[in-house]
Amino acid sequence: DAPAMRGARWPVRKLETLADVATWLGLAKEYLEWFADRRGYQRTAQEQRLWHYRYVWVPKRSGGVRLLEAPKGRLKRVQRRVLDELVGRIPAHAAAHGFQRGRSVLTHARLHSNRETVIRFDLRAFFADVHPARAFGIFRAAGYPEEVARTLTALCTNRAPRVVLAKADRPTSLQALWASRRQVVTGLVVNRGPRV
């Protein structure tokens, strides 16, 4: 008997079992398992046709490269549904302006105009440093049972295949190696289609 949803704090869809998730997404249970890839088969797959993402290394203006991970068609539709019908119903922090309806760079800038001091900085590898455990925690806080939360997390996160990571430019220093490894290997794709 599957555990029921705990008291949901937000108006999210009730999904108490993996069968509920599969039905809601219009997937057979086997396809839900395939797209969630909780066992990590994608990490070792050599053939691109078996991957759920397209991977492209692009140069950064500041030097080095960035890995772009774009979900393929079916997974992208699944992620969009999770974003629109689940994650989108969970309120963001009041300070968040990115990816929020009615908010933008301009609404954020207005909060800081006419201030005596404004500090500007960029968070290095922000999305790559968001660990899947954060997404899992959000789904659990939304009231989903552990197995459902783990599967939703797996649908919304990704670890690039080893063969893709092996194609990254090799850093010239130990410090650069550590930074690039952390940036790429811990990568969470919040693919706006979700990587929460």
- Condensed to tens digits (0 to 9), the pLDDT of residues 90-134 reads 888 888 887 788 888 889 888 888 888 888 776 666 667 778 999
This prediction's pTM: 0.78
Confidence bin at 2 (pLDDT 50/70/90): low
Residues 148 and 18: their CA atoms lie apart, in Å, by: 6
| High-pLDDT (> 90) share of the chain, % | 44
Question: Nearest Cα to 180, choosing from 164, 193, 191, 165?
Answer: 165
What pLDDT digit, counting tens, does each position of 131-146 carry? 899 999 999 999 999 9
Q: What is the pLDDT of residue 179?
A: 60
- Region 37-65 average pLDDT: 89
pLDDT of 11 over the 50 cut: yes
